[in-house]
Amino acid sequence: MILFTASDLIWGSRIKRTGESVGLSCRPVRSVAMLEDRLGEGGVTGLVLDLDVMELAESLVARLRGEEAGPVERAVRIIAFGPHVRTDLFERIRQAGADEVITRGAFDRTLPDLLLGLATSASSDQR
């Protein structure tokens, strides 16, 4: 399962629809509590973060990369995307523990491949 945050319905729908088109379950997370629930369901391999909701993005990364995170949480691969002009946000989320940070344009162009990569990363890249 791939989890995602989205600043608006357009991005959320696009991520969900693209995931479905390549055979993946993509589900939203809007809080740390929702992340906990999804982790409890099992099978979470990736998290996509929209940096237009930076406060949420940082809190989710902190949960997955913080001291209390176990092997399951640490195995979740994190990709963040945002506007190319916000390099400050890119650096902040990298420092917080995101595995990859890309521009919104690159995210849009490569979305199917990114999602497929997140789906397979946990099995081939155990931390």
Q: Summarize pLDDT for 92-105 with one digit per residue, the tens.
A: 999 999 999 999 99
Q: What is the mean pLDDT of the chain?
A: 92
Q: For the segment 13-32, what is each residue's pLDDT rounded down to a tens digit?
A: 999 999 999 999 999 999 99
Residue 10 gets the label, from left (phi > 0), alpha (psi -120 to 50) or beta, of alpha
% residues pLDDT > 70 (the chain): 94
Q: What is the pLDDT of residue 96?
A: 95
pLDDT value at residue 124? 44
Contact partners, residue 126, CB within 8 Å, separation at least 6: 71, 75
Domain borders along the chain are: 2-124
Cα-to-chain-centroid distance, residue 98: 8
The H-or-E segment that residue 72 falls in is helix 71-74
Task: State which CATH number among 3.30.2020.30, 3.40.50.2300, 3.40.1080.10, 3.30.360.10 fits the domain covering 2-124.
Answer: 3.40.50.2300
CB atoms within 10 A of CB 55: 7
